[in-house]
Amino acid sequence: DQQVKQNSPSLSVQEGRISILNCDYTNSMFDYFLWYKKYPAEGPTFLISISSIKDKNEDGRFTVFLNKSAKHLSLHIVPSQPGDSAVYFCAASQGGNNRLAFGKGNQVVVIP
Amino acid sequence: DTGVSQDPRHKITKRGQNVTFRCDPISEHNRLYWYRQTLGQGPEFLTYFQNEAQLEKSRLLSDRFSAERPKGSFSTLEIQRTEQGDSAMYLCASSLEVLNEKLFFGSGTQLSVL
């Protein structure tokens, strides 16, 4: 069963505009959420995270929002740059064991 | 380079053969994880170690799969009697034993079973 779900598998956005990626989860015990970015032929690289005690975390152009009651989080990238073209994975963990459950990923293409 | 290293990067084998992959984590990381990723899917957890102890195994890890981390440093993942369904990217990751610590991933080993 997919505990972390990412719909809308692909997104195309113009350079300079906002990219918004969405993620839903079903396990209410998840207490830590992360976004990873993956380029072809490379492993996922960490982007940004948020603890369940917060509802927003910002790091430069990247902001993650968490809505616990809706079991929903989103990643905003502003402004989008061509180097942001990659697959983005939403992941979640519980209980501090750092074992991550991943979504299927969203392909983002930033058009120059 | 002090990142997570995986070897080999690519492996092609015939069905029924055994294969072994190696992972060298970041040196100060005492947690090591194995994940598997198939086309169009996100990484799926297989197993993880804290130092040399294997603390959890996924139901995805059939009895043909075995993982070791003999001295709490590098790890090996062996697949016996490979099947075509084993074709996937096998990813290794490591982390510190710290609450809510992010995982650092290697570039993976791409396995193709013919």
* pLDDT tens digits for range B20-54: 999 999 998 999 999 999 988 999 999 999 999 99
Distances (CA, A) of B51 to A108, B8, B21, B65, B105: 37, 23, 18, 20, 17
- What does the CA dihedral B90, B94, B98, B101 come to, rounded to 10 degrees? -60
- Is the pLDDT at A22 greater than 90? The verdict is yes
Q: Do A46 and B107 touch (CB under 8 A)?
A: no
Across the interface, whether the CB atoms of B103 and A4 are under 8 A apart is answered: no
Task: Measure the CA angle with vertex B39, ends B37 and B45; round to 5°.
Answer: 20
| Contact residues, chain A, for B107 at CB < 8 Å | 41-43
Sequence-ordered list of residues with C-beta below 8 angstroms from that of B62, at least 6 positions apart, any chain: none
> Which of A6, A35, A99 to substitute to test the interface with B, most B CBs within 10 Å?
A99
Query: In a mutagenesis test of the B interface, which of A27, A100, A106, A107 is the best target, namely the one with the most B β-carbons within 10 Å?
Result: A100
- The model's confidence at residue B74, banded by pLDDT at 50, 70 and 90, is very high
Where is B4: in which H helix or E strand? none
